[in-house]
């Protein structure tokens, strides 16, 4: 979904769906968190600088659409929303750069992640145990995402400002919104649990319908009637 489509959907949903001035809508990057799409050559060079590592991938069908999963021997490294053929092709190109080699057929952490996500969507799993590979995140974004993963459990929510306070950066609510958009591990690292201070659900790189679905699954929002 394009930014324009998200903006149009947000207008139809009403102003309460929008984050406040200090809480910008999250814009999801397909693979590389924090990347500036206007400088692809520089991004690719940064990816190439990483140490080569084994990795594997698969696409998992879920109630919110196909998710591309990628894992290394360290843990789950990527969850990408709306993984149609175009997204998969682009994601795999960049993952080859990030990990420096061709993918393997399988890696144990990939199987664990797929099994746990399937159980999560069946309402049978409340906490993920698959190890996480944070190599596609860094700096402030990684600090915020680690805090989110560790201390905002299933069925709860946190505000952008609250999360900024938790990492010792009380003036960084806007940066927290950017960190959520950079999240390479959505669902497992639950950026859908970060909401606006005015009571709205805030933005979401995977689309507001996806965010509502995940919050309803966890009991934060009522299940839709249709």
Q: How far is CA 188 from the centre of its chain?
A: 8
Tell me the β-bridge partners of 57.
70
Q: Of 189, 191, 201, 215, which one is the catalytic site residue? A: 191
Pair of tokens at residue 155: 């069925």
Catalytic annotation present for 191: yes
What is the DSSP annotation of 102-161? Answer: PPBS--HHHHHHHHHHHHHHTT--SS--S-B--TT--HHHHHHHHHHHHHS-TT--EEHH
Give the other-Cβ count within 10 Å of 11's Cβ: 11
Could you list the active site residues?
Answer: 191
């Amino acid at each position: 979904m394009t930014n324009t489509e998200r903006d149009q959907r947000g207008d139809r949903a009403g102003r309460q769906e929008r984050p406040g001035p200090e809480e910008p809508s999250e814009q999801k990057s397909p693979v590389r968190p924090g990347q500036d799409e206007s400088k692809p050559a520089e991004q690719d060079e940064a990816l190439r600088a990483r140490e080569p590592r084994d990795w594997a991938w698969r696409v998992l069908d879920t109630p919110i659409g196909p998710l591309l999963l990628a894992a290394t021997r360290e843990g789950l490294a990527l969850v990408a929303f709306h993984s149609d053929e175009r997204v998969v092709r682009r994601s795999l190109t960049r993952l080859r750069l990030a990990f420096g080699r061709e993918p393997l057929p399988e890696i144990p952490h990939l199987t664990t992640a797929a099994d746990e996500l399937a159980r999560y969507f069946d309402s049978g799993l409340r906490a993920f145990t698959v190890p996480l590979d944070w190599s596609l995140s860094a700096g402030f974004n990684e600090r915020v995402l680690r805090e989110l993963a560790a201390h905002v459990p299933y069925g709860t929510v946190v505000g952008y400002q609250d999360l900024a306070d938790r990492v010792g950066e009380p003036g960084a609510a806007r940066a927290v919104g950017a960190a959520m958009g950079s999240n390479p591990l959505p669902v497992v690292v639950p950026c859908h649990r970060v909401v606006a201070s005015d009571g709205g659900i805030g933005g979401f790189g995977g689309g507001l319908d996806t965010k509502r679905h995940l919050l309803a699954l966890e009991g934060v929002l009522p299940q839709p009637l249709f």
